[in-house]
Structure 1
């Protein structure tokens, strides 16, 4: 399989709407455009990797925060409450187990189902 992240980002039209672009063993690779904040949540059993392609995003933690710029990546540990926030549009690649729910332990109006994230997958 050959893919192109830039062309995959061009297919993303809504913020906070991850799109699955590949599967590596039991991990999905997703692209998303983000702006504003998502929601405070956690993933009880799964770590997730954020990689910034364009812009910057801050991962807020209770009492702490990590800011990621273009080229940076960060792993959010399982069970850790967090809230991604981007002041301006930011393009991120996510890597997470296939069982990972978009907003973890909560559901909001921004939550996307796995079916929505897989829509149009071409891998």
Structure 2
């Protein structure tokens, strides 16, 4: 029941595409990540995924369109929808997803994090 200072947590790491666990609720993980460049095309067959931009902006690519998400905005990717985040510059995001969610959707990628570090 402690307060979590997101800005302070974000200063504690610099890796991109390596989500860090900052909280849990009812089987969901709350994570922080810094993203830059392209990620991999992937989908989550059984889980929705929420991205809330804290700082910067990023583009969520879908197979049929793209949407830009700015600081203070969020996007929810429904389960089963193929997507690929892209950030031109470093962007800080808060993610909410089921604790069982594989952030690459099972795609073999060197940035895949199976057990996110708690910060």
TM-score (norm 2): 0.95
For normalisation by structure 1, the TM-score amounts to: 0.92
Moved over 3 A (4+): none
Aligned to 2:29, the other structure's residue is in SS state: strand
CA distance in structure 1 between the aligned counterparts of 2:92 and 2:25, rounded to whole angstroms:
20
Offset from partner CA, 1:13-68 (integer Å, 9 cap, x none): 21000000000111100000000011000000000000000000111000211110
Q: Which runs of 5+ in 2 are unaligned?
A: none
Equivalents in 1 of 2:57, 2:16: separation in Å?
A: 14
Q: 2:48 matched to which residue of 1? A: 47
Match of 1:97?
A: 98
Greater percentage in helix:
1
* Structure 1 portions without partners, runs of 5+: none
Task: Give me the whole-angstrom Cα distance separating, in 1, the residues matched to 2:71 and 2:90.
Answer: 12
* 8 Å CA contact 1:44, 1:105 repeated in 2: no
Q: What is the RMSD computed on CA atoms of the aligned residues?
A: 0.9
Count of matched residue positions in the alignment of Structure 1 and Structure 2: 118
Counterpart-to-counterpart distance in 1, 2:55 and 2:16: 14
